[in-house]
Structure 1
Amino acid sequence: MKFNRKCTYTPRPSESVQGTMSIDGNESDVKGVFLSMKRLLGISGVVLLCVIIIPIIVYYAKPGCTAGARQLQVDQATTAALGTQLPPVKDVRLPLTVKPIHYNLILAPFIYSNNASEFYFTGSVNISVAVQSSTTNFKLHSHKLQIQTPRVVDSNGNNVAVASVEEDFARQWQSITMSEPLQAGTNYTIIVDRFRGPLERDLSGIYLSSYKELGIEKYLVASQMQATDARKTFPCFDEPAFKATFAVSIVRHQNFKAASNMPTMSSKHVLASDWFVSASGSDRMIKEDFRTTPRMSTYLLAILVSQFDYTYTTDTKNRVYGTWARPDRATSTECAKSIAKNITAFYERYFDIEYPLPKIDQATIPDFSAGAMENWGLIMYREAYLVCNPSIDKSTYLQLTVAIISHELGHMWFGNLVTPDWWDDIWLNEGFASFVEVLAMDQLHPDWDVDAQFVVDDLKRGLQSDGVQSSHPIYVEVNHPDEVNEIFDTITYSKGSSVLRMLYNSVGDSIFRIGVSKYLKQYNYSNTFHTALYQSLTSEARASGRNIDVGEFMDRWIKQMGYPVISCARQSNELSLFQKHFLISSSDAPTYGKTYSSPFDYTWIIPITAATSENISSWNGSQVSHLVHWMREKSQKFSINSTSWYLLNLRSTGFYRVNYDAGNWDALINQLLLNHSVFTPQDRARLIDDSFALAMVGQISYSIPLNMTKYMKNERHYAPWNSVLSSLAYIYSMLHRQSPQYGTFSAYMKSLILPIYNRTGVAQADSDSHLTRITREKIVKAACRYGIKQCAQYAQAEFQRYVSSNFTDKIVPDIRYTVMCRGVAMSDAEVWDNLYDAMLRETSPGVQNDILKALACTREPWLLNRYLLYTLDDGKIRRQDAALVVSSVASNPMGLQIMWDFLRGSWSSIQARQVGIFSLARYASSLGGFNSPERLREIREFLAANSNSLASAVRAFDNALESVRNNVRWMTDCLPAVMDWLNSQS
């Protein structure tokens, strides 16, 4: 049967119009300079001479350099020229002939002057290695470092001659050839007496950050090694399988504090001149030695040198729970210690394995690329993601703090204790942490209904992202660092966690928990492949009397992209099910990135759960594993006893969509109108999301999901409201207030939202439940967006009060962004400038984020342009926040085109300033909101012209292009059907 492609859609990156975090920006680039060949050759000679001489001059001309200073003799410089486009390489894996056992690492960051351009770090490392097979060559990762020639000594301390050292910039390693073979079964020590690297604000490796304290710039050094940036910090074997122990020492000024993965063991004074070229020989520093870590991968190493405040508490096992934060924000992190203590206790019970380190420190970093990083013993966070003050921080941020702590602590077992052998199995880290955080949060806050929230957050995101041709399997081959960085995406996190949730609900909690525990115990402190987990779970299932082959089941979900839609046809008591790959766009849509074929002909092994109008009240809503029937073929028949409606995919535990026959859709809608509470919130949210998705691809009439929305006048739960608002936000994003049809659409939205807006109101009561508060945030945003008069008047009055107080009066946290956005939209440039200045002064990261988003709500195009330019200036907008600014501008109806012009005109600047592993992808995703053939053509031309510079964002740009293509199709094929229904209601 040919799939009806007539009416298609593509997911927006998020409900971005309401201020979801996402992208960033730049300025105009030089278009081109043309030189004659003769002049070019002359200039090349000068450049070559400069390349040789300038580093030498710069190095020895550092301020304060004295004759007594210990100098680093650089034999090889590992930094490639800026702007050089290196050809992609695939053979980047280290040989297995030499493996590390232990690192003695000393790091000495220099941040002790008033000129950040002079900052750098230096260090030394001794690596104990075991030779697996005799060899005359080994590789050592190094990137952007200046390194003395490595020395090699045997177990007796005798030197083993190094014949040559070759630099391989593309593979980011040094190839070291020995004069004689290193013998198998023998241990050696690789010694790098001194290395040196720049301290930059690039948020990777060991890097520079700063903040203002009483108007004074305070500098600190933080780290982000994942995925492949430990090699920017020290020469090492920078792959997850090369686990070793680490004895870390940090040289710091006596006015600073240092932290690493383990507690401090000892400290002593050392001469600054022993480590810093620019320091006086009489200056004294502290060398702080930390206890040796367990065996771990290089990407988990953590370094922090700062003037932060440190506070801690202990548990009954005398384990330390500490927090590091800048002094004016230390109190806002107090809850993090108690949350971590409770979550750790849950994981220890659940996995039946104690947390193995003596401490869990958590640090908030002013500049941080990711949300958080699971460094063993020293977890690092963005400041906005570790907040604890209900009077200032909105409920969604308070929940996010618990979620991120739960996620990162889940990594202490999945990722840190047991680690994937290579990055192609990163889903075992991120998917597992994203799933078990739900289990942990549900134990800590059962009233939050976290599983229902998962359905409308992670599961929905996973289905949206995986329904496109530019998707990829969860398990996918990666080699080059760009490819590694590319898979830290929604498929890995959201689909990975959703598939694990499906497995959990298919086998049941007991089998899952015991099987996972045995797996973790068997492979602790080592590396594995996903098949090891499957074997453990299969063994436990069969021991419990369940004949389930977990590997056979999971391979269908992780080794082929996409997911099925199950179409249903009922005849009497027989239900025929048909599975087919669900795609939002046509399967022949062109892509710029890699495409994948299915090894299973896009057929899945699907856990089918079902209930009918007669028996839905009889099954246990918390567990569905006993109801599972397995669908293994393209089509399959099941018996069903129902004279009314039937429902598949109970509690939305499966990663698939369901399309019912027209009669059953009508019966389900009638039941929702009669009494929606017979369905769980998860089921109600899934019916909404599936029906809108199916209508957008032309499989059902748009009247089905739109008729379903009528029951919302009686709905109060967060999950269905989240689902319906995000589904209808797509229509809003297509009309963008400039379409003549917008008035009809907004009128219906007002009628839909007004009843619950009147129920929830804008005032916050102490008796409000958490779900009420996060629902209020969604409803008030939507009410003001669609022009409900009471909301607009309230927001305007609150903003005027806020402005009159010189931006010091508090706004109800859960609706603060909506108030600010509405206020900025109605204000002039003077108010904009004053609010921006207030953001710079603000000490609450949550309030800062709301202001950053709200500033993009202005209706002045020149202010939007200027705001985008601010993202190119570290003094105006932190690099980590540039993505938030750009996505917020793109969410403004008049801002999307401004952002696109900015992106095209400043592409080189954007590349130069990209930070972390998510940056370019975030830029790309903002483009998905366009819906015209002209913009589609422009994006195609941009991708074709810049195909060699997309780096880790190739797939994200592919997805954006596919989004625009589907938006164009939707405007032609779907909008008329939507408008026909809306007109019929009026």
Structure 2
Amino acid sequence: MHRSLVAVAISLALGGIAQAAPADAGTTPHPPLVRATTQLPRTVVPSHYAIEVTPHADRLAFDGKVKIDLEVLVPTDRIVLQALGMTFANSTLAAAGGTPMPARVSLDEAAQTATFAFAAPLAPGRYVLSTDYAGTINTQANGLFALDYPTAAGKKRALYTQFENSDARRFVPSWDEPNYKATFDLAVNAPAGDMVVSNMPVASTGAGPGGLRRTVFKTSPRMSTYLLFLGVGDFERATLAGDNGTEIGVIAQRGKVGQARYALDASRDVLREYNDYFGVPYPLPKLDNIAAPGRSQFFSAMENWGAIFTFEYSLLLDPATSNVSDEQRVFTTAAHEIAHQWFGNLVTMAWWDDLWLNEGFATWMEGRTTRKLHPEWDQDHVDAAYTSRGPMVRDAYATTHPVVQHVETVEQASQAFDGITYGKGSAVINMLEDYVGADAWRAGVRSYIAKRAYGNALTDDLWAEVDRAAPGRQFTQVAHDFTLQPGVPLIKASATCSNGRTTVALEQGEFTVDRPDKTPLRWRVPVAVRGGDGTVAKVLVDGKASVELPGCAPVLVNDGQKGYFRTLYAPAQFKALGDGFAGLPVVDQLGLMLDASALAAVGLQPESDMLDLTTKVPLDGSPNLWQLVAGTLGGIDDLYQGNARQPAFRAYARTRLSPKFEQLGWESRAGDSATTKQLRTSLIGILSTLGDDKVVAEARRRFAAFEADPASLPADLRRTVLGIVARNADAATWDRLHALARKETTSLLRDQYYGLLASAKDPALAQRALEMALTDEPGATNAADMIARVADEHPEMAFAFAVAHRAQVDQLVDSTSRARYYPGLAAGSVDPAMVGKIRSFAEAHIAPTSRRDTETVAAGIETRIKLRAKRFPQVDAWLQRQGR
């Protein structure tokens, strides 16, 4: 799934799990249930589902029939499986060649189970459970759901499914847990004019009940329930031939499939790369990517095996409105979801504790593959700096969690899809691959995939294979340090030079934002140190270590920035690196700046260290450096909010950024790199936020021209210009944007307009957007996003509104996202009173086991307020030294 993000005892609790033997797609070995985590009795296992569904899209309901081949392992008088929001009829159980016996069905909505009870105990053996059932078509992405969208011919409705993590039970009664793998046959009765798509190719079509057409799909490979997919609608499909005979397809609403051509080509290229990397060819006959209008608060795409689901904004490209960032999003989303076809689909984590095996690895493969196939997007090779630093923002708080985390409930499983699982998982893999070498890492991954194909696995199964490929490196111990405990290591570095050689002393501590007196955890940290002559020494820091390098030039810790740690240099070493800043590779310049900023924020370094570095970036410096300079100054502007000195700071920031923007200009030029194009739009946006009247006026002028002729606004500037106009809108301008939204018949652009309406600084206009979100106008999946966008400017207002209208807002948010959605609205607040309000809401409406996001947001607000008070005097003193 693509996303907009535990202790050793847990590993031990699952570590003894037996592994199923590798299986071909058609075999059904027993899953390793003896010690695997499950919320169901361990008495029965499924092997095959034969499902027939008849959706009634007009009344948001469906009918179903299922026959489940299963094996009773021990005598029992009942079969318990997962089901939610269903009614049942005609339920029977039969042994092979036996007489069907009736089942009495009872439901437990709280436990999300259905129990099929029998008059006498069942002997161990094979049976077929048959039942008719009925369920609900939802309006958010849970189970089988409907999405309405505008077209030139009027509103249309399409149906899709979303089952991860635990919503297949809304579609079919099932053992809806990753460890219970089975094969699936699916038949669908739908209107003859609709296209029906699932994981496998169509086997046959024919007459169905009530004048419908019956579509039957080929049998799936053995897989987990959350990977099953169904889509029904007025679609078109385009295909091309991939390697090994795989048919690669894209599916979109009628008239839009041409906008998926880029995604189609990207899928072909990515699939070829993965076939080679994993050493196991993609095993299904086809791989479709299905575009859907709307959005979710939870995800942007889902890796259903052979039938990837992707919201249109991450799959379609309109040449008139899409820019290079859109291209990158489409490519990286495809790279992420296709990686799941191996990591997640072919080999699946045994339980949600090891979700990172799916998401962290897919995130890492996404980055690796993008760098390889599109090197022009990262010409300075800076991705490593952001891969490693991004998750540290969350990981440095007390509310963080280990990469491998304990999951007990459905809600906790949903919360596990976060920045630690995705971002830190990817960063740790990046570091571990660098530690053992790319060849050894890939050899371990290939062995892991081959041995556990069509089965389930634990994190330690992957570590065992890499350890075998790279013996003698303490690999598993290092991997455990970074995945079984939370937090960010801090490497303190000092250097002395004698007789022409530099000795670097390294000491490991812990970087924390909100626990300054915390006793550091202990990690074995792989560290690469580069000397002034380019010599690189690598060492495993276990508490303390030292390295020697030739010469007396400044040394850089974390060469290439792949290590997952912050670096705190002794003042003399930091000054030396600052003096030689221009000579560092761009990735290391970024790493130095990112660490200095984070360390200054918590008082471990002077604020002036980072701010001085921003002055060292020359006008012709890397666009990546200028992006960081602009982002840093924009962040400091937030620090000055409400302070009388803010105009002075903004004047300085504009003086610093304007020359670079004047160099770039408003219009793209031939030969502009992707990073240059992105820097241009970033500078326009930040300068407008900093009160640059000329930039705002020019954006308004271009918007007026756009209203007369949409082609007058280049795709590269469209979203930026409209965003500035919307943010600074008065009532008349807001009404003009509203009119554009109402008349737009392209779902992707219509969604963008309603998002713009929610971005106004004017509180009265923000209130209008909130009220609009509760109407039918923006659409069921845009409404929650509008409230969240209002929260970007007005967090207190948005949170209060959502809480006051909770019954309505609940219907606008995926059920699995509510525990994070409401507290998330307040995340940008600096009002101390919000902490109590968030916690009071959680106590009333969020289960105690599902309050991690509540505590994360609360801690963020409290810490931001505290650090703001400490940081401001230093920043203001530096600003005054600049003559402001």
| TM-score between the two structures when normalised by the length of structure 1 | 0.82
Structure 1 residues 982 and 412: alpha-carbon distance in aligned structure 2, compared to 1, 3 A threshold = same
- Spell out the pairing of 1:85-164 with structure 2 (5 A cutoff): 93-111=39-57, 116=58, 118-148=59-89, 150-160=91-101, 162=103, 164=104
Aligned 8 A contact 1:817 1:853 in 2: no
Which shifted more, 100-109 or 711-720?
711-720
Aligned 8 A contact 2:696 2:725 in 1: no
Structure 1 residues 954 and 105: alpha-carbon distance in aligned structure 2, compared to 1, 3 A threshold = same
Aligned 8 A contact 1:563 1:582 in 2: yes
Question: 1:754 matched to which residue of 2?
Answer: 658
In structure 2, how many angstroms separate the alpha carbons of the residues matched to 1:436 and 1:250?
35
- Spell out the pairing of 1:216-227 with structure 2 (5 A cutoff): 216-227=154-165
How far residue 156 of structure 1 moved from its aligned partner, in angstroms, is 1.9
Question: 1:354 matched to which residue of 2?
Answer: 281
In structure 2, how many angstroms separate the alpha carbons of the residues matched to 1:863 and 1:757?
30
Question: 1:648 matched to which residue of 2?
Answer: 557
How far residue 470 of structure 1 moved from its aligned partner, in angstroms, is 1.0
How far residue 654 of structure 1 moved from its aligned partner, in angstroms, is 0.9
Pick aligned residue for 1:202 from 129, 137, 140: 140
Query: Which amino acid in the other structure matches residue 110 of structure 1?
Result: H
Q: Does 1:315 align with 2:211?
A: no
In structure 1, how many angstroms separate the alpha carbons of the residues matched to 2:494 and 2:873?
28
Query: Which amino acid in the other structure matches residue 222 of structure 1?
Result: Y
Question: 2:753 matched to which residue of 1?
Answer: 851
**Structure 2: 5+ residue runs without aligned partners?**
6-35
Q: Does 1:169 align with 2:71?
A: no
Q: Does 1:628 align with 2:538?
A: yes
Deviations 1:323-361 (A, max 9, x none): 211123222112211110110000001111111111111
Question: 2:358 matched to which residue of 1?
Answer: 429
Pick aligned residue for 1:834 from 724, 736, 743: 736
In structure 1, how many angstroms separate the alpha carbons of the residues matched to 2:787 and 2:712?
26
How far residue 744 of structure 1 moved from its aligned partner, in angstroms, is 2.0
Aligned 8 A contact 1:166 1:176 in 2: yes
Structure 1 residues 885 and 642: alpha-carbon distance in aligned structure 2, compared to 1, 3 A threshold = farther
SS for the counterpart of 1:206 is: strand
Deviations 1:262-293 (A, max 9, x none): 01001111222xxxxxxxxxxx1111100000
In structure 1, how many angstroms separate the alpha carbons of the residues matched to 2:363 and 2:313?
19
Pick aligned residue for 2:209 from 267, 271, 274: 271
How far residue 790 of structure 1 moved from its aligned partner, in angstroms, is 4.2
Query: Which amino acid in the other structure matches residue 122 of structure 1?
Result: D
SS for the counterpart of 2:851 is: helix
Structure 1 residues 841 and 493: alpha-carbon distance in aligned structure 2, compared to 1, 3 A threshold = farther
Pick aligned residue for 1:228 from 163, 166, 188: 166
How far residue 451 of structure 1 moved from its aligned partner, in angstroms, is 8.7
Aligned 8 A contact 2:630 2:657 in 1: no
How far residue 389 of structure 1 moved from its aligned partner, in angstroms, is 3.6
Question: 1:262 matched to which residue of 2?
Answer: 200
Q: Does 1:770 align with 2:674?
A: yes
In structure 2, how many angstroms separate the alpha carbons of the residues matched to 1:343 and 1:450?
20
Aligned 8 A contact 1:688 1:720 in 2: no
Q: Does 1:665 align with 2:584?
A: no
Aligned 8 A contact 1:784 1:818 in 2: no
SS for the counterpart of 2:223 is: coil
Q: Does 1:564 align with 2:489?
A: yes
In structure 2, how many angstroms separate the alpha carbons of the residues matched to 1:828 and 1:476?
48
In structure 1, how many angstroms separate the alpha carbons of the residues matched to 2:751 and 2:692?
25
- Spell out the pairing of 1:461-472 with structure 2 (5 A cutoff): 461-472=390-401
Structure 1 residues 373 and 266: alpha-carbon distance in aligned structure 2, compared to 1, 3 A threshold = same
Give % identity: 25
How far residue 402 of structure 1 moved from its aligned partner, in angstroms, is 0.2
Query: Which amino acid in the other structure matches residue 905 of structure 1?
Result: A
Q: Does 1:946 align with 2:842?
A: yes
In structure 1, how many angstroms separate the alpha carbons of the residues matched to 2:187 and 2:539?
57
Deviations 1:194-232 (A, max 9, x none): 100111202110111111223522111110000000000
Q: Does 1:957 align with 2:854?
A: yes
How far residue 687 of structure 1 moved from its aligned partner, in angstroms, is 1.1
Aligned 8 A contact 1:313 1:322 in 2: yes
**Structure 1: 5+ residue runs without aligned partners?**
1-19, 23-89, 273-283, 590-597, 620-626
In structure 2, how many angstroms separate the alpha carbons of the residues matched to 1:215 and 1:741?
55
Aligned 8 A contact 1:717 1:775 in 2: no
Which shifted more, 759-768 or 253-262?
759-768
Query: Which amino acid in the other structure matches residue 668 of structure 2?
Result: Q
- Spell out the pairing of 1:893-972 with structure 2 (5 A cutoff): 895-915=794-814, 917-918=816-817, 920-931=819-830, 935-951=831-847, 954-972=851-869
Q: Does 1:784 align with 2:685?
A: no
Question: 2:9 matched to which residue of 1?
Answer: none
Structure 1 residues 681 and 694: alpha-carbon distance in aligned structure 2, compared to 1, 3 A threshold = same
Structure 1 residues 899 and 119: alpha-carbon distance in aligned structure 2, compared to 1, 3 A threshold = closer
Aligned 8 A contact 1:456 1:719 in 2: no
In structure 2, how many angstroms separate the alpha carbons of the residues matched to 1:587 and 1:579?
15
Structure 1 residues 225 and 213: alpha-carbon distance in aligned structure 2, compared to 1, 3 A threshold = same
Structure 1 residues 648 and 794: alpha-carbon distance in aligned structure 2, compared to 1, 3 A threshold = same
Question: 2:18 matched to which residue of 1?
Answer: none
Which shifted more, 318-327 or 916-925?
916-925
Aligned 8 A contact 1:564 1:656 in 2: yes
Deviations 1:71-120 (A, max 9, x none): xxxxxxxxxxxxxxxxxxx9961233211111100111012xxxx4x231
Structure 1 residues 338 and 708: alpha-carbon distance in aligned structure 2, compared to 1, 3 A threshold = same
- Spell out the pairing of 1:25-424 with structure 2 (5 A cutoff): 93-111=39-57, 116=58, 118-148=59-89, 150-160=91-101, 162=103, 164-184=104-124, 186-192=125-131, 194-272=132-210, 284-315=211-242, 317-369=244-296, 370-424=299-353
Structure 1 residues 528 and 788: alpha-carbon distance in aligned structure 2, compared to 1, 3 A threshold = same
SS for the counterpart of 1:501 is: helix
Question: 1:803 matched to which residue of 2?
Answer: 707
How far residue 773 of structure 1 moved from its aligned partner, in angstroms, is 1.4
Pick aligned residue for 1:509 from 401, 413, 438: 438
In structure 1, how many angstroms separate the alpha carbons of the residues matched to 2:824 and 2:517?
22
In structure 1, how many angstroms separate the alpha carbons of the residues matched to 2:654 and 2:150?
44
In structure 1, how many angstroms separate the alpha carbons of the residues matched to 2:136 and 2:380?
45
Please give the root-mean-square deviation of Cα atoms over the aligned residues, in Å: 2.4
Structure 1 residues 820 and 315: alpha-carbon distance in aligned structure 2, compared to 1, 3 A threshold = same
Which shifted more, 784-793 or 648-657?
784-793
Structure 1 residues 157 and 730: alpha-carbon distance in aligned structure 2, compared to 1, 3 A threshold = farther
Query: Which amino acid in the other structure matches residue 126 of structure 2?
Result: N
How far residue 183 of structure 1 moved from its aligned partner, in angstroms, is 3.3
In structure 1, how many angstroms separate the alpha carbons of the residues matched to 2:248 and 2:443?
28
In structure 2, how many angstroms separate the alpha carbons of the residues matched to 1:431 and 1:712?
33
Which shifted more, 433-442 or 722-731?
722-731
Structure 1 residues 967 and 178: alpha-carbon distance in aligned structure 2, compared to 1, 3 A threshold = same
Question: 2:872 matched to which residue of 1?
Answer: 975
Aligned 8 A contact 1:816 1:850 in 2: no
In structure 1, how many angstroms separate the alpha carbons of the residues matched to 2:284 and 2:858?
46
Deviations 1:471-521 (A, max 9, x none): 111111111101100111111111111111111111111111111011101
Question: 2:586 matched to which residue of 1?
Answer: 681
Which shifted more, 202-211 or 328-337?
328-337
SS for the counterpart of 1:774 is: helix
In structure 2, how many angstroms separate the alpha carbons of the residues matched to 1:100 and 1:435?
33
Which of the pair has the greater relative contact order for Cα pairs under 8 Å at 6+ separation? 1
How far residue 966 of structure 1 moved from its aligned partner, in angstroms, is 1.3
Pick aligned residue for 2:529 from 610, 628, 632: 610
In structure 1, how many angstroms separate the alpha carbons of the residues matched to 2:71 and 2:673?
58
Structure 1 residues 604 and 844: alpha-carbon distance in aligned structure 2, compared to 1, 3 A threshold = farther
Structure 1 residues 945 and 110: alpha-carbon distance in aligned structure 2, compared to 1, 3 A threshold = closer
